[in-house]
Amino acid sequence: MKSISISPRPIIPLLLPQLEHRYKISRLNHRLPLLHLDSAGGSLLLMASLNNHNHNHNHHFRHADSTASLPSSAVAKISHLKAVVLGDAPASEEDDVVLPSHEFSRQALVPSQQKYLEMYKASIENPAGFWSGIASSEFYWKQGWGDQVYSENLDVRRGNIKIEWFKGGITNVCYNCLDRNIDAGLADKIALYWESNEPGFDATLTYSQLLQRVCQLANYLKSVGVRKGDDVVVYLPMLMELPITMLACTRIGAVHSVVFAGFSSESLAQRIVDCKPKVVITCNAVKRGPKTIFLKDIVDAALIDSANKGISVDVCLTYENQLALKREKTKWKEGRDIWWEDVVPKYPTSCDVEWVDAEDPLFLLYTSGSTGKPKGVLHTTGGYMVYTATTFKYAFDYKDSDVYWCTADCGWITGHSYVTYGPMLNGATILLYEGAPNYPDPGRCWDIVDKYKVTIFYTAPTLVRSLMRDGDEYVTRYSRKSLRVLGSVGEPINPSAWRWFFNVVGGSRCPISDTWWQTETGGFMITPLPGAWPQKPGSATFPFFGVQPVIVDEKGVELDGECSGYLCVKSSWPGAFRTLYGDHERYETTYFKPFPGYYFTGDGCSRDKDGYHWLTGRVDDVINVSGHRIGTAEVESALVSHPQCAEAAVVGVEHQVKGQGIYAFVTPVEGISYSEELRKSLILTVRTQIGAFAAPDKIHWAPALPKTRSGKIMRRILRKIAARQLDELGDTSTLADPGVVDQLIKLADT
C-alpha cells in the first residue's frame, strides 16, 4: 500500500484557536483512500491500494506535523470525512473534501498547510514586515515610504475611520504593470488576447505594444486637459480599449470610473453627476450574442441628463467598434464627440509617468447600497497594487507560462482587480472576451479555452449553473486539457455546481479557488490556495494572508468554534477601500458603526467544526444577482417612479441560475387593475432606469404591504412568502393589518 501523509485538521494560530479536532477519512465504495490517525507520530496517513489508482508514484502531502501545537483535547476529537484526491476520481456527493495531489502540491507556490500557516502567522503577527517585504521586493517605488508602513483606526469610538498603507511611498501602477515587466524581459510576451463576440475575429497585443497604445491615449487625455486627480468616466465593453483606457488614466494620475456597459442612461448620468468627469470614453455599439447594443445612444442620453443637472462634459471620446456598427450610422454631436481612431493614433507612443503617493486615488467604482444612491468606492494606489497582485499570484498559483481568463467585465471590481491590475502586475497573459458565453452555442467558453490554451479559468457561479443546465455534451466535445486551476467569484457557489465545475469542466484534476471578497476589499479575503488545503465543495475555506475574519452575533460578540453570524474583519489590509467618494460619513455608518472596532462586510457566514468558512449571502437590503450587487432600494425607487405604481417592496429569492433573483411586491395606484401589460411596463421601467440585469424576475401584486403600526414594512414576511415558506411566517400579530398576509398568499400565482 502507498501512504499519503496529509495534515491534521486545520488549526490557524491566533485566528481560530477553537478548532480542536482532526478528521479521519474512510474508504467509500472501496475506491477512495483511507485516512487514519497515526498515534505515534500524531499525523494523518492516507492509505491507498495501488490497485485503486492508475499511477505508480508516491503521493506525499506535507503538513504541520506535530500535535505539540494543538490543544490537549485535539487528539481525542476526530470527525469523519470522506475524500477524493485531485486527479484520481470525480467528486461525488458523498465526498466531503477534495485533497490536493502530490504533483500539484509539489509545484505550488504554497505547497502545504504548514507553509500557509507559517506565512499567515507572519502576516498577522507582523503585518508591517510581511507586506513591506513584498512591496519592496516585487514592485518599483520611485521613493520609499519611510518607517511607518501603515496606520489605521477601525473603531468609530476612537475618532474618524482611517486606513493608510505605504503613505509617503511614490509609485505608479501603470509603470509597474507595463514598464517594469518590459524591463524584466517581457516586451514580446503576449499581454492581451482578444476574442470577438463573433467567432473568427481576434487580436493580440504584446506588453511593448500595449505600452505604446496606453501612452498614445495618455498623451491624448493630457492634450484635452486631463490632469492628476481628474476623473474620467469609462463606458466601454470588453474591448482591448477598456484596459488600455484604465492604464492610460493610471499613467497620468487620473482617476478612472468604469461604468458597466449594461447600466441605463439614468444610472450612467447619476455617476457622471457624482464624480464630474473631464472626459467620457465609450464606443458606438457592441454585439452581445446576436443582439446589438447601441452604447453611444445611452451615453448621449446620459450626457443630456447630467447637463440638465448642472454637470456638462465637453469631450466624449468614441471608439468605432466596426464589427457592431459603422461610424456613418452613429449619432453624433459635433464639437463634443470625437472618434478615437481619428485622434489617438496620432499621439506619441511614449508618455512620461506621473508619480503619485501610495494614498493618492487610483479609481472610483460605484456599487449598489441599501439606499437608492450608489456608493462611490474609492481605492488608492499603493496598498491596492500590492494586495491585488499578491492575491492573484497565490490564489491562482500563478506561473509565468499561464494563460489566464476571467469572464468578468471591467465594469465590476473583478474586472479591475483580476482582469487588469492583478494579472498585469504579475506579467500575465490575459484573455479578454467581448461576447456572450453561450454564443453561438453553450460550448463557446470551451472552444475559447482550447483555442488559446487557457490554464486558469475564473468565472461566476451563475455562468457555471447556466452551462451546467445546458448539459455536459457542450463541455465534453472540447479537450480543456490546458486547464490547471479553476476559480469562482461573485457569490457563494452551491456544492452541486462546484462538483459539476470540478468534475466536468476540470476533469476532476483542477482545484477550484472559490474566492470571497468585495468591491470594498479590493482583493480576495477568504480563498483556497491550490495545493495547500483540502477543499470542501462550496466553502471559501480560510483567510488570505493578513486577513482576520471574525463571526459575531447581533451584539458584536465574537463567536468561537462552529457557529453562524455576521462576518466582520478586524485590522486593516492593504487593499481596503479608503472612503466613499464625497461621503465619508456614509462610509463610517455603513461599514464601521454596526460593530465598532470591525469592518462589517454585510454578509452572513457560517464556520463549521473544521474551521471552514461558508458564506451565506447578504444580510442587508442588497441582492446578489449573478454576482452583481443590486440595492433593493434602487429597484423599489425605479418601480415607484412608474405612474401606476403606488408602492413597492423588493426582496431576494433563490434562483437556480442567478443565485438570487429579484422578487417585487407591487401595489398599483387606486383604480388600476392588475394586468400583464402593467407587469411588462413595470419591468421595462426598471430596465430603463437601472439596466436589464436589475429587472425583477417576479412581480407579485399586492393590494397592501405588511406593515407594523409604525409603518415599517415587514420584509421578513415578504421573504417567506416569496420563498413559499408559508409555515415559517412567524408572529404576524404586530402587523397593523394581519389580513394582508392572507391576501398576498392568495395572489402569489396571479
Across 345-363, average pLDDT: 98
pLDDT at residue 39, rounded to an integer: 26
Question: Is residue 7 predicted with pLDDT exceeding 50?
Answer: no
Question: Is residue 429 predicted with pLDDT exceeding 60?
Answer: yes
Candidate from 22-26, 178-182, 248-252, 632-636 with smallest mean pLDDT: 22-26
pLDDT at residue 632, rounded to an integer: 81
Q: CA 396, CA 393: separation in Å to the nearest integer?
A: 6
**pLDDT, tens digit, for every residue of 372-381?**
578 899 999 9
Predicted confidence band at 647 (pLDDT cuts at 50, 70, 90)? confident
With beta carbons less than 8 A apart as the criterion, state whether 269 and 695 touch.
no
Predicted confidence band at 616 (pLDDT cuts at 50, 70, 90)? confident
Across 360-374, average pLDDT: 80
Predicted confidence band at 714 (pLDDT cuts at 50, 70, 90)? confident
pLDDT at residue 564, rounded to an integer: 87
Question: Is residue 663 predicted with pLDDT exceeding 90?
Answer: yes
The residues, any chain, with a CB within 8 Å of residue 462's CB and separated by 6 or more, are 490, 491, 626, 627, 657, 658, 659
**pLDDT, tens digit, for every residue of 146-162?**
999 999 999 999 999 99
Q: CA 64, CA 43: separation in Å to the nearest integer?
A: 9
Instruction: Characterize the bridge pairing of strands 375-380 and 579-580.
Output: antiparallel
Q: What is the 3-state secondary structure (H, E, C) of 487-551?
A: EECCCCCCHHHHHHHHHHHCCCCCCEEECECCCCCCCCCECCCCCCCCECCCCCECECCCCCEEE
The residues, any chain, with a CB within 8 Å of residue 386's CB and separated by 6 or more, are 131, 134, 135, 138, 139, 165, 166, 574, 575
Across 225-241, average pLDDT: 98
Prior bond of 440 cis (ω within 30°): yes
Comparing 624 with 423, which gets the higher pLDDT? Answer: 423
C-alpha distances in Å from residue 436, one per residue of 130, 414, 443:
41, 17, 11
Across 193-222, average pLDDT: 98
**pLDDT, tens digit, for every residue of 101-149?**
999 999 999 999 999 999 999 999 999 999 999 999 999 999 999 999 9
Question: Is residue 41 predicted with pLDDT exceeding 60?
Answer: no
**pLDDT, tens digit, for every residue of 513-526?**
999 999 999 999 99
With beta carbons less than 8 A apart as the criterion, state whether 659 and 462 touch.
yes
**pLDDT, tens digit, for every residue of 553-609?**
989 999 999 998 999 999 999 999 999 999 999 999 999 999 999 999 999 899 999
Comparing 64 with 390, which gets the higher pLDDT? Answer: 390
Question: Is residue 551 predicted with pLDDT exceeding 90?
Answer: yes
**pLDDT, tens digit, for every residue of 483-522?**
999 999 987 888 888 999 999 999 999 999 999 999 999 9
Candidate from 161-175, 195-209, 735-749 with smallest mean pLDDT: 735-749
Predicted confidence band at 709 (pLDDT cuts at 50, 70, 90)? low
Bridge partners of 203?
A: 194
Query: Which cell goes with 675?
Result: 394586468
Confidence (pTM): 0.81
Catalytic residue positions, numbered: 620
Question: Is residue 60 predicted with pLDDT exceeding 60?
Answer: no
Of the candidates 164, 54, 75, 153, the one whose C-alpha atom is nearest the C-alpha of residue 509 is: 54
Of the candidates 617, 658, 621, 620, the one whose C-alpha atom is nearest the C-alpha of residue 637 is: 621
Alpha helices in 641-675 (DSSP H): none
pLDDT at residue 78, rounded to an integer: 28
**pLDDT, tens digit, for every residue of 243-297?**
999 999 999 999 999 999 988 899 899 999 999 999 999 999 999 999 999 999 9
Predicted confidence band at 62 (pLDDT cuts at 50, 70, 90)? very low
Q: CA 226, CA 213: separation in Å to the nearest integer?
A: 17
pLDDT at residue 493, rounded to an integer: 84
Question: Is residue 74 predicted with pLDDT exceeding 80?
Answer: no
Alpha helices in 366-460 (DSSP H): 382-395, 413-415, 422-425, 444-452
With beta carbons less than 8 A apart as the criterion, state whether 488 and 500 touch.
no
Predicted confidence band at 2 (pLDDT cuts at 50, 70, 90)? very low
**pLDDT, tens digit, for every residue of 674-706?**
999 999 999 999 999 889 989 999 999 999 888
